Amino acid sequence: MNWLANNQQTIWAALWAHLALSLPPIVASFLISLPLGWAAHRHRWLRFPVVTGSSLMYAIPSLPLLIVLPLIIGTTVRSSVNVVVALTLYGIALMVRSVADSLDAVPRDAVTSATAMGYSPVRRFLAVELPLAGPGLLAGLRVVAVSTMALVTVSAVLGVQSLGVLFTDGFQRGIIAEVVTGIVGTVALALVVDRTLVAIGWVSMPWLRVGATKSDTGGAP
């Protein structure tokens, strides 16, 4: 407890650094996965190479990727850009399949009706397919967010500031309180981000609230 009380500034700095490394790849992987997942959904011949190819990226060990990636993108091993790019790749590996599956689940009647009403493909995607695929996309994004929060800690091995530094430093110095603080901080931050995504989904998809209300009332009018 003495360590916790004496190192508040260090803990908060590590927490904000962890958050700063996590949010950009979560957002970037979602935005990049949307067109990739749409292409896999729209063109069946692309589904296997796009979905399978992206999923295979998740099989790449994180530490070797963080070491090799600077040779490809021209950064340093300890650069935050290096970490963000690596985490974005892992996010894409998880999110592309979620996008494709969510769009596949959109009722064909809704798509056909929108087409019959004269919607262009772009308008139909934005106004019909994307909203109806929203719950599946949100579920996939939540998985990406939690996974990203956990993977950020690996960068501490390379000396990049995050909550993972509390793991490595505490282990090397034999300070159990520091290690536990890093674990609790990572889990708490992941929960906060997850709840934030749920809240955003609740606000941006009001039809989910209607469905939940009907379920709670047993479908009564």
> Under a CB-based contact definition with an 8 Å cutoff, are residues 15 and 152 in contact?
no
Residue 138 lies in a domain: yes
Overall number of domains in the chain: 1
**Can you give the pLDDT at residue 175?**
85
pLDDT given for residue 220 in this prediction: 46
The answer to whether residue 212 is domain-embedded is no
Q: Is 12's pLDDT higher than 50?
A: yes
Measured N-to-C along each axis, helices 164-173 and 176-204 cross at an angle, to the nearest 10 degrees, of 170
Q: What is the mean pLDDT of residues 6-34?
A: 93
> Higher-confidence residue: 126 or 90?
90
Report the mean per-residue pLDDT for the chain: 88
Structure tokens at 157: 């091995």
Q: Any idea what the CATH number is for the domain that residue 152 is in?
A: 1.10.3720.10
Q: Which amino acid is at 140?
A: G
Higher pLDDT, 137 or 122: 137
Alpha-carbon dihedral sign for residues 127, 135, 35, 75: positive
Q: Tell me whether residue 17 is in a domain.
A: yes
Range of the domain at 32: 2-191
pLDDT tens for residues 36-95?
A: 999 999 888 888 999 998 888 888 888 889 889 999 998 888 889 999 999 999 999 999
Within a domain: 206: no
CB 46 within 8 A of CB 109: no
Q: How confident is the model at residue 185 (pLDDT cuts 50, 70, 90)?
A: very high
pTM of the model: 0.88
Q: Is residue 213 part of a domain?
A: no
As given in the structure block, the two tokens for residue 167 are 């793991």
Residue 215 lies in a domain: no
Judge whether 221 lies within some domain.
Answer: no
125 within domain boundaries: yes
